[in-house]
Structure 1
């Protein structure tokens, strides 16, 4: 039998050559800077304040639903068409395209969940200098200035946002290259067409240079048959110092100014061992930015799937706290302002201005455009055990048994690329995984599940059914000459299916059917890796931009590829069950709208303390743009963690939405019991804490599915007027009610957590000690410490009987943790359904509200027309911040009254009510006298 290295061939040697180069760090030379990206360099060279664009007010047309207006570039006489829409929910949409392009320019499909409904626009005034329109809501107006073109959105006396106020609008019109060929359609064009839209002008001919029609990076030359086509626009945000979003970057939550370096880059790339705290592109690109100050939250959604760069500047950047105080004392009249500039290689300008004014309203506005987080199966919120790779079926069996032996719960075990027959996806290694159904049945018997990887690069092999079908149907992406595009990836020479095609996605979805994917069962789920797409021998380790998706170039839609791969895969898992079962699909590459499709992780991180720390702002940033189901590889993918780092990572991961351990195949094994009994006990406790909170996690994800609000969120989302929260990214909230400050420093003996809320109180979930809000609390820590606080005023349901998997806990009882606020009130929710089907859409669920006020605790039905039954009951109620009652009486829905037993800890003001015994789906009231 061939050795592992022989089977992998040159691809393994290529990739391991990177791994073993000695640095274990990103080779920045493999990836472009703005100066090396021709369109970015050109656009960034535009001088502010000298805009050539003028609004032609005589061309204005105003209907009930939109404004259209032509813009002209006075330098080359090319005309653009501006469209402005007022959308429902306090959103303004601005589109700018060429008035008469030589050929259609790419407009992003499938990301918006529908054509957004509009609201009326009306004209308030007009003169030779501009136009004022009413936006209808809260005295909002749009002011369109003619010379130079500028657009301001105003509310009352406040400017909320300005477009082209710095004069950096750039729109490279499509043209024929005069020195190569004439435009065959030129004679048929209307005489009124500006000549510069047919071919380059003399002025422009002199500028044909540096990557306008082709450019070379390292050994790759990028042909550009359509020539330069970049678009850019600047936005000014008066009163704003804090902007967030545009993931994915390994950087702080608050985005930094980019005046002295590269802009943030959005271009999905397989970046080997990515570097921290810089604006380099990573695996995902979500072109959404949020701006926040104590008065308002707004958002910008730049709907463009081409390579994009985002520049950020601020008039307060670099000022020290003392400098800002001095400005205040001296009465500086300068209003803080952040300016943002978006630059994309192709497509059109299509931007949605989400005007808030609150964080929740911005989340709702974005969700109305691109959808909410998919509601995951309950089991996927448990713990996942992964490695590249579990060797064979016996290895899987032994690892599964190890969790039972060490009493550590888990729900999913994962298989990486080595489980396949020679990197042929949808297959199994015939020697190592000879009977996959037997393996899956063994897991199913324990109510556990498996995830197997299915990557979107397909081995070019005429003996491989998947390849033959894709090729025969013409479903592969083509190269610029029209032949099937091929590149190197894990199987060696690989083709790349064109997932932008609906028929290709439908075919791919069909491959997950049980009679197609041999060896699969209902407890097998899917992981899409390498879907940027990763091409080992391609430019910047990805696909050539001149590859073709039908008539469109890959450059137009690059950032959409992974979105489409996950879409097709999720559809396949739904279809295989006849539309009954919710899918679970993990993806590495994401775009706007990916939240509708499943989960994401932060890619190939490293076993380093800084990588543990960066997992927090990375997931917070994704959550702010809708993608709540985020996690990082626990322990770090590359390198080997110390036992201290591994324990701290489990403790952090247990309180992040997606909780999976994963490791590179060259690292020593690191199952949770391999670091000695003391560390095993610490990891066990962290994982078990995760399982006790599964009812709360599930409720938060249901809420995210309903509203678009992030599960894991920065403190400023809940405390938007507290500047102390605006840049915090070493702690976070889960929903409103749990504050988590993980220990992420090596050798830490204490952490300082900021507890927000002027009138809030917070209870340590481990000790029940009470702390007031608006303080920096120093917390001594040991290796067992996970600083977590429950907000006073909240009620959180937990399940304290932890079993080997979430499904084993389905009928187990609840404990309610009632944390009283300073008014001695609290409220919370409980959501229950079957945990895995779409039957909740048929209103088969329980959704209850708990309230504590005037010494009465009650449970009422939030959805009286929903129907579901549960065997779970309430076995314990723990009230924090309580007083000792003389007696406690329970009244059930049938008017039965019972007196309940209780214990009271006077030293901690904790009241424990034992075995009240109500069904979790029942109405009841409990009176403390």
Structure 2
């Protein structure tokens, strides 16, 4: 963000004032449009139907698990190498690179958890113009058409996806720079004059003569090297050489000589491009689909819009000051995953490229009447790198989520405290302020797990330090929090103050760990501390050093209950182009920043999480919040929606933004409760707490210039409403934690759109003001000012839903008008599910350990239900390293509720017991009998409400770790 939390100090005051003087709104002029982005403009200028690429079918080679063949651009004769894989788990991979590039092109490392296993390919058909490949045992086929090149992915007779069907493949090959003729003449004359002077002065020339001749030779050799076997097959000279005068003109859209191809100016910044234009683009056509989702992060509705009339969606991690809503502009994070859904199937497209990327979406049905088979066309355009695309073939939404998780990893299981309530502000002033805020939660009986400190806590914004006057005894402060079973999070940003008296800066500089300029010096930019260096987190050695800084002896004043917030890690550079780093900056391995920009924040969070793991000897789970992210960031912690505003529309858009992130694997997502900028009134604040309590990451946060807004500062009535919302969150912590465990194991989003659970219900496809938590709870937060009612859609043919507040049963599908008061949070439990709760109010999650449970059993129309509960110590990796966990399965069928082990390999000692069972939709039994696994039967007391059909069983008293049955007779 341009003004992120905790952003004041003498060094940054001028910059902060600059960003705050304008009315709080994004300055679009700070950020490029597609027309201002040279490669986007060139890619988009290529029109459909003019593809110059031909597949050389005779070059097809089958390996043990892949196929390769060459593509030739028939206009410039540059060959490409196409690689194809049929991956296990119903996926296909397509990779395109230059056959013989002048230098290697960047391939994204560290995002895939492993190279995905592939299946044997086989040729099943061939003719003069095409070849057909069988992709393993899944029944899918790839039809490769030679001219123009096209890939069709089929299952049986059904066409699932076409690649390059619109002919928009554009691969800007690396090439030597062609100097203008006038420059060559001038250079040749200059060289001749140097020779003449040397005859008279007998001096050795300072530079080698005949520069123009060298340029011509370099160009000729480069063209020959780029030609290779593919050029020979396309009709190039037999020796592989290509004379410059015989070379074909540049292909349409290639623009090798276009202004901006070798350097580009935006505002006051010039981006040098020493390797020239290198963008890649490819189109995918999806017949039968008109609803697409994903490619976060954008402040956008869940269903993505078509982009033909405006800019494409942009994926380029940026610090955007108070972002606009319903806008394709880039924000803080980027995940190049798009999902397409219809009533028949779900597909995913994962574009593994970390450079600046634009995504065009077109539809043949947008704004038109019916009668046409719908089709969505998706065009990906990236500034550099290669084409590396994964087609996730579903066919169900859950299958696509699992396929993506198999590639990039699942959501890390957070420590239990992280699912509680977090209180933050830019900034809590000092240790006394922290103590007063923490005390306020106890005085007002509001649970809270974490107090946060922004950048003002550090000594002059030198991270890994504490302000000696405001926070002189940080360890004692942390011990006081720990005594209340609470935690703290401090901010550690990746810009390091350039200060010879600062140990962190000196060590990074001495080890050569800073990002470099194109000239080889340490890159410096302007951020909160003033002049700052930027550690090169792409360097494994740098990441290892950074991780070591979280050791207790290195991070002085830290303790076991101190965790970390990585902000500004796009990276944010106030003095840089688009408020970020110059693209020609140089990283480890010689790669330019342009190649890997979207990976920077991913690596910062990775290194920070590893540091927290290391400090405990590898036993404790980390908690790290990151603003910037990429595919795979879910493995390292949580994300949030950045610097939102205290406006009703920002509250509403937070739902769609978190749903989009969840679809892209980032389940641990939330928004700043109350809005970061501006001051919410009491109604908006209360509604935001009610909504935030039902989002995965639950944190209140605010800008330095806003009024204080701790939950008890808006009057007793509003304090009571906020207290109730926060307590609802804590009562559901067992349910949230179990949902996160399932997400960690299987890759399913915790907060998910309705269509994931009801994939054939077309009415759900565009809904993003209500959603599911796991598969059991449907939530419709109130997001309209002054609302007296909301429209709630209950999906699922033949399903039943129970209002959690009134316990009234509703049959689906139907739309309900639900009257609301200020205490209302419309939540419905799905029939056929079991939801565990802990309903005793405590000050923090850790205080709830061992508390008794209540099971809410919501019966389906068939009189059945099932659910589960995951329990462990809530903080360590022992659940996976030593099988120290309980995973219990609850089933109700034929009038009996049964508890058994869902995973018998686990064992965990807990005193927690079953206090109550509430069965929704039940008739009145004559008797209720408890059958423990060992011991005699006992009768249970019960109460039945005939009006609501709710049966309450009191104090079964069995341990949650035991097997038992409860019989309704």
TM-score by structure 2 length? Answer: 0.93
**Which entry has the higher C-alpha Rg, 1 or 2?**
2
Are the structure 2 counterparts of residues 667 and 771 from structure 1 closer, same or farther at C-alpha, using a change threshold of 3 Å? same
Kindly report the root-mean-square deviation, in angstroms, between the aligned alpha carbons of the 2 structures.
Answer: 1.6
Q: 1:699 aligns with which of 727, 735, 738?
A: 738
Query: What is residue 651 of structure 1 aligned with on the other side?
Result: 690
What CA distance in whole angstroms lies between the structure 2 residues aligned with 1:211 and 1:184?
22
What is the Cα deviation at residue 848 of structure 1?
0.7
Query: What is residue 481 of structure 2 aligned with on the other side?
Result: 443
Query: What is residue 567 of structure 2 aligned with on the other side?
Result: 529
Matched-pair contact (CA < 8 Å) for 1:879–1:912: yes
Query: What is residue 203 of structure 2 aligned with on the other side?
Result: none
Query: What is residue 97 of structure 2 aligned with on the other side?
Result: 97
Matched-pair contact (CA < 8 Å) for 1:95–1:348: yes
Matched-pair contact (CA < 8 Å) for 1:175–1:199: no
What is the Cα deviation at residue 496 of structure 1?
0.2
Establish whether residue 243 from structure 1 lines up as the match of residue 292 from structure 2: yes
What is the Cα deviation at residue 11 of structure 1?
1.8
Establish whether residue 896 from structure 1 lines up as the match of residue 936 from structure 2: yes
What CA distance in whole angstroms lies between the structure 2 residues aligned with 1:28 and 1:746?
28
Q: SS of the residue aligned with 2:123?
A: strand
Matched-pair contact (CA < 8 Å) for 1:7–1:422: no
Are the structure 2 counterparts of residues 771 and 65 from structure 1 closer, same or farther at C-alpha, using a change threshold of 3 Å? same
Q: SS of the residue aligned with 1:211?
A: coil
Are the structure 2 counterparts of residues 206 and 432 from structure 1 closer, same or farther at C-alpha, using a change threshold of 3 Å? closer
What CA distance in whole angstroms lies between the structure 2 residues aligned with 1:368 and 1:667?
43
What CA distance in whole angstroms lies between the structure 1 residues aligned with 2:444 and 2:136?
62
Establish whether residue 660 from structure 1 lines up as the match of residue 699 from structure 2: yes
Establish whether residue 835 from structure 1 lines up as the match of residue 836 from structure 2: no
What is the Cα deviation at residue 536 of structure 1?
0.3
Establish whether residue 516 from structure 1 lines up as the match of residue 554 from structure 2: yes
Are the structure 2 counterparts of residues 198 and 572 from structure 1 closer, same or farther at C-alpha, using a change threshold of 3 Å? farther
Matched-pair contact (CA < 8 Å) for 1:64–1:122: no
Establish whether residue 760 from structure 1 lines up as the match of residue 785 from structure 2: no
Q: 1:541 aligns with which of 575, 579, 604?
A: 579
Query: What is residue 882 of structure 1 aligned with on the other side?
Result: 922
What is the Cα deviation at residue 540 of structure 1?
0.2
Query: What is residue 331 of structure 1 aligned with on the other side?
Result: none
Query: 1:431-510 maps to which residues of 2 (within 5 A)?
Result: 431-510=469-548
Residues 121-148 of structure 1: CA distance to partner in whole angstroms, max 9, x if unpaired?
Answer: 1110111101001123453210000000
Are the structure 2 counterparts of residues 344 and 196 from structure 1 closer, same or farther at C-alpha, using a change threshold of 3 Å? farther
Q: SS of the residue aligned with 1:612?
A: helix
Q: Structure 1 residues 757-766 or 739-748, which shifts more?
A: 757-766
Q: Structure 1 residues 504-513 or 201-210, which shifts more?
A: 201-210
Matched-pair contact (CA < 8 Å) for 1:78–1:173: yes
Are the structure 2 counterparts of residues 190 and 398 from structure 1 closer, same or farther at C-alpha, using a change threshold of 3 Å? closer
Q: SS of the residue aligned with 2:685?
A: helix
Q: SS of the residue aligned with 1:430?
A: coil
What is the Cα deviation at residue 211 of structure 1?
1.3
Matched-pair contact (CA < 8 Å) for 2:569–2:627: yes
What CA distance in whole angstroms lies between the structure 1 residues aligned with 2:547 and 2:618?
12
Matched-pair contact (CA < 8 Å) for 1:102–1:198: no
Query: What is residue 288 of structure 1 aligned with on the other side?
Result: 337
What CA distance in whole angstroms lies between the structure 2 residues aligned with 1:864 and 1:67?
43
What CA distance in whole angstroms lies between the structure 1 residues aligned with 2:626 and 2:705?
23
Establish whether residue 8 from structure 1 lines up as the match of residue 46 from structure 2: no
What is the Cα deviation at residue 209 of structure 1?
2.1
Q: 1:905 aligns with which of 945, 948, 951?
A: 945
What is the Cα deviation at residue 695 of structure 1?
0.1
Matched-pair contact (CA < 8 Å) for 1:268–1:285: yes
Residues 704-761 of structure 1: CA distance to partner in whole angstroms, max 9, x if unpaired?
Answer: 0000000000000000000000010000000000000000000000000100011111
What CA distance in whole angstroms lies between the structure 2 residues aligned with 1:651 and 1:240?
35
Q: 1:369 aligns with which of 401, 407, 410?
A: 407
Establish whether residue 770 from structure 1 lines up as the match of residue 819 from structure 2: no
Are the structure 2 counterparts of residues 810 and 273 from structure 1 closer, same or farther at C-alpha, using a change threshold of 3 Å? same
What is the Cα deviation at residue 567 of structure 1?
0.2
Q: SS of the residue aligned with 2:35?
A: helix
Query: What is residue 595 of structure 1 aligned with on the other side?
Result: 634
Q: 2:605 aligns with which of 538, 553, 566?
A: 566
Residues 251-277 of structure 1: CA distance to partner in whole angstroms, max 9, x if unpaired?
Answer: 000000000000000000000000000
Query: What is residue 271 of structure 2 aligned with on the other side?
Result: 222
Matched-pair contact (CA < 8 Å) for 2:831–2:865: yes
Are the structure 2 counterparts of residues 412 and 5 from structure 1 closer, same or farther at C-alpha, using a change threshold of 3 Å? closer
What is the Cα deviation at residue 343 of structure 1?
0.1
What CA distance in whole angstroms lies between the structure 1 residues aligned with 2:14 and 2:381?
37
Establish whether residue 852 from structure 1 lines up as the match of residue 853 from structure 2: no
What CA distance in whole angstroms lies between the structure 2 residues aligned with 1:203 and 1:136?
41
What CA distance in whole angstroms lies between the structure 2 residues aligned with 1:388 and 1:488?
20
Query: What is residue 75 of structure 2 aligned with on the other side?
Result: 75
Query: What is residue 200 of structure 2 aligned with on the other side?
Result: none
Are the structure 2 counterparts of residues 770 and 548 from structure 1 closer, same or farther at C-alpha, using a change threshold of 3 Å? same
Are the structure 2 counterparts of residues 487 and 6 from structure 1 closer, same or farther at C-alpha, using a change threshold of 3 Å? closer
Residues 779-825 of structure 1: CA distance to partner in whole angstroms, max 9, x if unpaired?
Answer: 00000000000001111000000200000001100000011111111
Matched-pair contact (CA < 8 Å) for 2:75–2:248: no
Matched-pair contact (CA < 8 Å) for 1:900–1:913: yes
Query: What is residue 632 of structure 1 aligned with on the other side?
Result: 671
Query: What is residue 777 of structure 2 aligned with on the other side?
Result: 738
Matched-pair contact (CA < 8 Å) for 1:533–1:562: yes
What is the Cα deviation at residue 197 of structure 1?
9.1
Matched-pair contact (CA < 8 Å) for 2:11–2:528: no
Establish whether residue 863 from structure 1 lines up as the match of residue 920 from structure 2: no
Query: 1:199-278 maps to which residues of 2 (within 5 A)?
Result: 203-204=249-250, 208-278=257-327
Are the structure 2 counterparts of residues 357 and 604 from structure 1 closer, same or farther at C-alpha, using a change threshold of 3 Å? same
Matched-pair contact (CA < 8 Å) for 2:79–2:226: no
What is the Cα deviation at residue 191 of structure 1?
10
Are the structure 2 counterparts of residues 926 and 198 from structure 1 closer, same or farther at C-alpha, using a change threshold of 3 Å? farther
Matched positions, count: 914
What is the Cα deviation at residue 866 of structure 1?
1.2
Are the structure 2 counterparts of residues 357 and 739 from structure 1 closer, same or farther at C-alpha, using a change threshold of 3 Å? same
Are the structure 2 counterparts of residues 891 and 780 from structure 1 closer, same or farther at C-alpha, using a change threshold of 3 Å? same
Matched-pair contact (CA < 8 Å) for 2:6–2:703: no
Runs of 5+ unmatched residues, structure 1:
328-333
Matched-pair contact (CA < 8 Å) for 2:102–2:225: no
Are the structure 2 counterparts of residues 206 and 783 from structure 1 closer, same or farther at C-alpha, using a change threshold of 3 Å? closer
TM-score by structure 1 length? Answer: 0.97
What is the Cα deviation at residue 206 of structure 1?
7.9
What is the Cα deviation at residue 862 of structure 1?
1.4
Establish whether residue 673 from structure 1 lines up as the match of residue 722 from structure 2: no
Q: 2:860 aligns with which of 821, 840, 844?
A: 821
Matched-pair contact (CA < 8 Å) for 2:362–2:378: yes
Q: SS of the residue aligned with 1:9?
A: coil
Are the structure 2 counterparts of residues 868 and 602 from structure 1 closer, same or farther at C-alpha, using a change threshold of 3 Å? same
Matched-pair contact (CA < 8 Å) for 1:487–1:536: yes
Matched-pair contact (CA < 8 Å) for 1:417–1:423: yes
Q: SS of the residue aligned with 1:8?
A: coil
